[in-house]
Amino acid sequence: MHDIRFIRENPDAFDAALKRRKLAPMAGEILKTDSDRRALQAQIQELQSRRNQASKEIGALKAKGGDADALIAEVNDIKTKMPDLETEEASLAESLESRLIELPNLLDESVPDGDDEDQNQLIRTIGDIPSFRFTPKDHVALGEGLGLMDFALGAKLAGARFVVLSGQLARLERALAAFMLDTHTGEFGYVETLPPALVNSQTMTGTGQLPKFAEDLYRTDDKWLIPTAEVPLTNIVADEITDSAVLPLRMTAYTQCFRSEAGSAGRDTRGMIRQHQFSKVEMVSITHPDQSADELERMTSCAETILQKLELPYRVLKLCSGDTGFSAQQTYDLEVWLPGQDEGRGMYREISSCSNCGPFQARRMKARFRDVETGETRFLHTLNGSGLAVGRTLIAILENGQQEDGIILLPQALHSYMGTDRLVASA
RNA sequence: GGAGAGGUGGCAGAGCGGUUGAAUGCACCGGUCUUGAAAACCGGCAAGGGCGAAAGCCCUUCGUGGGUUCAAAUCCCACCCUCUCCGCCA
């Protein structure tokens, strides 16, 4: 959501920012609606003021036993004029609101220009890409080879883009989640949180999934399945004036995530890369505006720590203007090396995305804090990042740890969680 | 799912047709006092919006949306949520 006052004061800057999002200029149109609405609002408020005043006079007159008929007639006259004006004003307000609520966040000036993911900016590459004396398999071959990953069964029970894990592979999912949560809570101060996986429309609107991206979501009668824990976690501060002394708020949650993948038909159809249901450990930070830039770096490094402890090679990219998501001002993607992809040649795949949304979501959800200096309320900044997508981490463990004989060597950090140092085929 | 009670400012809690944007207490902020702190005392303190250079004026909001009335936190209707009891259930 955008600040109408910013648009009033900086229409050209606003249009220039839209252009970076490949959107046509619209400040002129928005401001026309805005000024029409305000003119109407002033007119309405004048009538309301007169009505309120007259009503008080009526009360005073009647208390003294006087005759108020003339005033009552005047109020009634005002009341006949009001509905049309109010309807018109509401219509303008709604048109303004619906326009603003569908526009993406303005990009941070540090975001590089670019059309799509090919133009993201490489920030750093960490870890050595493993070399194999054999052609590495992908996680599908490995998982099925272990007898612990069954896509046909997932399809039988639910349909395409579902899988059933069993035995040590199901345990690996749990181990990864526990390891990630332990690290974020124990080392980085995030508060473990278990939020609802179904939320109402208002909550979905707060973080930006609605109204524009309804088709990407699964819904029930009156609720929506969360596509990420970012949604419930961030909305915890919605409609609140948060005490600035508790900032930054840092929360982490392990949840299932549900996505219809409406726009991805035919993409990543093999394996567990893109499922309708997957689990993720999410990090959310709520900060003072002055802290959000540093917090994004910190959050990204928290996610990176997980990859490092799991001995997984990865790289960090700064997303370009064309690839940065709707609600984000700025985003770092972490891509893990998956040696089994692309016929065993390997490739990097996204495993985490860390974004600073600035005041964009906070304004949508009215998440504020009180500025100690001025006494005024201001919008918070919100950040979210995956730390990490558990399914894709499991894939990475399999593909990077594979041996020629089909067993998987596990990273040291997981040994205690798994009760073993390796995965072997089930009997 | 059924029955009852209730949803008021950061919190607690009055008000139940007019002068109430809302008593009182707590919290918070400023001041007096104090070596300092506490206590006590004095004062301030809802949010959002419009107009205005500013001072300030005005509008809206007492769960949400309608309705009655010259006038609604107060009356009526619907919905949402919370609590208690019953039923069902992990």
| DSSP 8-class letter at A262 | G
ipTM metric: 0.88
Annotation says A51 is catalytic: no
Q: State the pLDDT at residue A72.
A: 85
Q: How far is it, in rounded angstroms, from Cα A339 to Cα A264?
A: 23
Annotation says A192 is catalytic: no
A333 has a pLDDT exceeding 80:
yes
- Say which residue the tokens 């090919």 belong to: A118
Lookup: nucleotide whose C1' is closest to A75 CA: B70
- Separation of A336 CA and B4 C1' (Å): 58
Annotation says A50 is catalytic: no
Please report which confidence band the pLDDT of residue A100 belongs to, taking 50, 70 and 90 as the band edges.
very high
Q: State the pLDDT at residue A79.
A: 85
Which helix (H) or strand (E) is A150 found in, with range? strand A149-150
Question: If you average pLDDT over residues A28-46, what whole number do you get?
Answer: 93
Lookup: nucleotide whose C1' is closest to A63 CA: B18
Q: How far is it, in rounded angstroms, from Cα A353 to Cα A112?
A: 17
Report which of residues A38 and A376 the model is more confident about: A38
A375 has a pLDDT exceeding 80:
no
- Separation of A48 CA and B5 C1' (Å): 37
Report which of residues A240 and A183 the model is more confident about: A183
Q: State the pLDDT at residue A376.
A: 81
Q: State the pLDDT at residue A323.
A: 97
| Phi (first) and psi of residue A411, to 5 degrees | -65, 150
A355 has a pLDDT exceeding 90:
yes
Please report which confidence band the pLDDT of residue A370 belongs to, taking 50, 70 and 90 as the band edges.
confident
Query: Which residue among A321, A363, A392, A399 is the active-site one?
Result: A392
The domains spanning A4-101 and A117-423 adopt the same CATH topology: no
Assess if CATH 3.30.930.10 describes domain A117-423.
yes
Question: If you average pLDDT over residues A236-258, what whole number do you get?
Answer: 92
Q: Do the beta carbons of residue A349 and residue A339 sit within 8 Å? A: no
Q: State the pLDDT at residue A81.
A: 85
Extract the tokens encoding A22: 């490949």
Question: If you average pLDDT over residues A327-353, what whole number do you get?
Answer: 97
How far apart, in Å, do the first and last CA atoms of chain A sit?
55
Q: How far is it, in rounded angstroms, from Cα A190 to Cα A281?
A: 11
Q: Please give the mean pLDDT across all residues of chain A.
A: 94
Question: If you average pLDDT over residues A30-39, what whole number do you get?
Answer: 94
Please report which confidence band the pLDDT of residue A285 belongs to, taking 50, 70 and 90 as the band edges.
very high
Query: Which residue among A259, A298, A363, A364 is the active-site one?
Result: A259
Q: State the pLDDT at residue A213.
A: 94
Question: If you average pLDDT over residues A5-10, what whole number do you get?
Answer: 93
Annotation says A282 is catalytic: no
Question: If you average pLDDT over residues A90-95, what whole number do you get?
Answer: 90
Of A9, A4, A11, which is closest to residue A41 (Cα–Cα)? Answer: A4
| Phi (first) and psi of residue A334, to 5 degrees | -105, 130
Count of CB atoms within 10 A of residue A96's CB?
A: 18
Question: If you average pLDDT over residues A213-236, what whole number do you get?
Answer: 94
Domain ranges of chain A: 4-101, 117-423
Q: Which residues touch strand B (CB under 7 A)?
A: A 4-5, 38, 41-42, 44-46, 48-49, 51-56, 58-59, 62-63, 68, 72, 75-76, 79, 241, 368, 370, 376-377
A346 has a pLDDT exceeding 70:
yes
Look up the CATH architecture of domain A4-101: Orthogonal Bundle (1.10)
Nucleotides of B under 7 A from a protein CB: 10, 18-19, 47-51, 58-60, 70-71
Please report which confidence band the pLDDT of residue A427 belongs to, taking 50, 70 and 90 as the band edges.
low
- Say which residue the tokens 């009503």 belong to: A55
Q: State the pLDDT at residue A171.
A: 97
- Cis before A172? omega within 30: no
Lookup: nucleotide whose C1' is closest to A8 CA: B50
A314 has a pLDDT exceeding 70:
yes
Q: What angle do CA A143, A149, A152 make, to 5 degrees?
A: 125
Q: Do the beta carbons of residue A237 and residue A286 sit within 8 Å? A: yes
Q: What angle do CA A381, A195, A149 make, to 5 degrees?
A: 115
Q: How far is it, in rounded angstroms, from Cα A193 to Cα A175?
A: 18
Question: If you average pLDDT over residues A173-187, what whole number do you get?
Answer: 98
Report which of residues A254 and A71 the model is more confident about: A254
